[in-house]
Amino acid sequence: MLGLMQDWPLLCHRVIDHAAIQHGGREVVSRSVEGPLHRTTYREVRRRAMQVAQRLGRDGIKAGDRVATLAWNTWRHLEAWYGITGLGAVYHTINPRLFPDQIAYIANHAEDRLMFVDLTFVPLVEKLQERLPTIERYVVLTDAAHMPQTSLRNAVAYEEWIAEVDGDFAWVTLDENAAAGMCYTSGTTGNPKGVVYSHRSNVLHSMMAVAPDAFDLSVRDAIMPVVPFFHANGWSIAFSAPMTGCKLVLPGAKLDGASVYELLESEGVTMTAGVPTVWLALLAHMEANGLKLSTLRRALIGGSACPRAMIQKFEQTYNVHVAHAWGMTEMSPIGSICGIKPDYGTPDFEGVLDIKMKQGSAPFTVEMKIADDAGKDVPWDGKTFGRLMVRGVCVAREYFRGEGGDILDPDGFFDTGDVATIDPYGNMQITDRAKDVIKSGGEWISTIELENLAVGHPKVAEAAVIGVRHPKWDERPLLVIVPKKDEKIEKDEIIAFMQGKIAKWWMPDDVVFVDEIPHTATGKIQKTALRERFKDYTFPTQAAAE
């Protein structure tokens, strides 16, 4: 017997319809790429998204076609997403920080037909366009007054382009399983692989994301996603914000501490989301200028491990709750969010920090397990490391064009490539990427834990730990440190600081100081580059012994 409820496909454009009807006047404020702040509303975003859809149709774009965006978070980018999905086409966000070769590879692999491009990236694409044969037209996200002279194929200014149609358009009717968006993994090994979100997965993911134990987002909030739309589906905020009707603040191209701070304060932002490096810059700016935060109450931090010192600063100095989250492009992207479950009782502040260092528990729609190398489940005791595997309605089942082959185990779980522990209350903690974990004398050492500890030292700006070949132990940890500006630190200071806080055999065998640690296009420490740099390194103790 079937249920007798209505068939109401979960489609992305239903989200902007809802926002326009129920919260039509709510503001969408952007720092425009041209400079000034720009204000619009959900009602207007929807109206102009209809023009985008209609105009794309006039350019011959059809349902299922891929349309690239190479753009910052602004109202125009938001309109483009809804216009693309409302026509049944597929938004394909491209990360401009990728190497040009990778950009060419993924635009060709996706066979993008049209590209929305911000002014910032016009020079980059001009150099690349010979290698992007599938792109028939470039729509520059600006108006006629700011349109540059450009050699881009069929280039047109966005405002002029949409002004050619009246917006008298009806969203196309689609199967909710139709593709809505695409994002390629950053591909640290091999070519980037395309993850294809469906309308259904985007809508369900956003419903999950707004819940109190996740983003905790309501119509009374003002959210600023500092995380760009081109990182891991923009953490779904382009859908979850309009779903609740909260105010949306988009930071455009300026992600430095001062610019982010200015918007947080001037727009009354209550909730924000981004990777730790962005918050490092914000905290440094506030500290240097003796600033406070008057409206921000919650910061969602993920993408890489959030250091304890950062959680402490936000919570203690600025009275902002940190929600530490973990996810992946392949997961739409939320996989877990950390909160203090009642099971923990009422921990003191240090206890709260211990818990918040974990990446958290899986929300409904995500199933998690940890397994050993043989695929056997390992216990949820908060200590045993295992490969983190996930399954759920917003988790990829395969990559675009079947790249990488079968990516699920026989039970349908996807191997995240992360190593983690899970405590008895279901809170997961990432200890490493599987390929970064240090195997010393047959035991595993968590590089993330060592890094977290090192950045807790007041003179350390950033830290990375890599495994270096060792004749006796196979691998031993080498700690690489970027000191804070104008600070001088000695190796012994760091070692003394770490002593007693970790098992003796986890202690790095050496500490080296560098000016900069390399990062990937999504802001993660690029351990492959560090390993390459230190490939001929030998530990002083080892050299003495030889």
Helix (H, G, I), strand (E, B) or coil at 537: coil
Interface stretch with ligand AMP, choices 121-129, 328-336, 341-349, 369-377 (CB under 6 A): 328-336
Would you say 51 or 69 has its CB closer to ligand AMP?
69
Does residue number 214 form part of the binding site for ligand AMP (CB under 6 A)? no
Our finding on whether 427 is near ligand AMP (CB under 6 A) is no
What the block records as the tokens of 418 is 């992360």
The answer for residues whose C-beta is within 8 angstroms of residue 300's C-beta and 6 or more apart is 215, 235, 271, 272, 273, 274, 323, 325, 337
- Catalytic residue from among 159, 176, 267, 330: 330
Residue 389 in the binding site for ligand AMP (CB under 6 A):
no
232 binds ligand AMP (CB under 6 A): yes
Q: How far is the CB of 132 from ligand AMP (least distance, A)?
A: 23
Active-site residue (options: 444, 484, 491, 528): 444
Whose tokens are 């978070």? That residue is 73
Which listed residue (112, 118, 418, 462) binds ligand AMP by CB under 6 A? 418
* Structure tokens given for 530: 């560090």
Distance between alpha carbon 517 and the CA centroid of its chain, in Å?
A: 20
Q: Which of 185, 329, 447, 520 is catalytic?
A: 185
User: Is-catalytic flag, 329?
Assistant: no
**Which of these segments, 43-51, 133-141, 297-305, 342-350, binds ligand AMP (CB under 6 A)?**
297-305
Angstrom distance (rounded) from CA 29 to CA 74 = 8
By CB under 6 A, tell whether 116 contacts ligand AMP. no
The answer to the question of residue 129 lying near ligand AMP (CB under 6 A) is no
- Asked if 282 contacts 260 with a C-beta cutoff of 8 angstroms, the reply is yes
Least Å from the CB of residue 493 to ligand AMP: 27
CB nearest ligand AMP: which residue?
329
Annotation marks residue 439 as catalytic: yes
For position 234 contacting ligand AMP by CB under 6 A, the verdict is no
Q: Which of 86, 302, 467, 508 binds ligand AMP (CB under 6 A)?
A: 302
Contacts of 512 (CB under 8 A, 6+ apart): 478, 479, 480, 481, 534, 537
Q: Which residues contact 342 (CB under 8 A, 6 or more apart)?
A: none
- 329 part of the interface to ligand AMP, by CB under 6 A: yes
Closest of 159, 122, 152 to residue 137, by C-alpha: 152
Beta-carbon neighbour count of residue 417 at 10 Å?
17
Contact call for residue 236 and ligand AMP (CB under 6 A): no
Q: Can you tell me the distance from the alpha carbon of 231 to that of 95, in angstroms, rounded to the nearest whole number?
A: 7
Contacts of ligand AMP in 518-537 (CB under 6 A): 522
Q: Examine the residue annotation and report whether 326 is marked as an active-site residue of this protein.
A: no
Kindly state the number of chain residues that form the binding site for ligand AMP, as judged by CB under 6 A: 21
**Beta strand pairing status for 321-327 and 334-337?**
antiparallel
Please, what is the minimum distance in Å from the beta carbon of residue 306 to ligand AMP? 6
Residue from 119, 248, 390, 430 touching ligand AMP (CB under 6 A): that is 430
303 lies in the site for ligand AMP, by CB under 6 A: yes
Q: Could you say whether residue 85 binds ligand AMP (CB under 6 A)?
A: no
Site for ligand AMP in 260-279 (CB under 6 A): none
> First-to-last CA distance in the chain?
76
∠ CA 378-380-384, rounded to 5° = 60
Q: How far apart are CA 32 and CA 52, in angstroms?
A: 19
Reading the block at residue 528, the tokens are: 């492959």
Nearer to ligand AMP, 41 or 359 (CB): 359
Is 40 an annotated catalytic residue? no
> Which part of the chain contacts ligand AMP (CB under 6 A), choosing from 156-164, 197-205, 410-418, 466-474?
410-418
Using rule CB under 6 A, residue 421 touches ligand AMP: no
Structure tokens at 397: 């089942």
Distance CA 191, CA 400 (A): 12
Q: Which of 186, 179, 198 is nearest to 105 (CA)?
A: 186
Residue with tokens 């965006």: 69
Does 180 participate in binding ligand AMP (rule CB under 6 A)?
Answer: no
Euclidean distance between CA atoms 88 and 173, whole angstroms: 8
| 305 sits near ligand AMP (criterion: CB under 6 A) | yes
- Positions marked active-site: 185, 330, 439, 444
Residues that bind ligand AMP (CB under 6 A): 185-186, 232, 302-305, 324-329, 333, 359, 416-418, 430, 433, 522
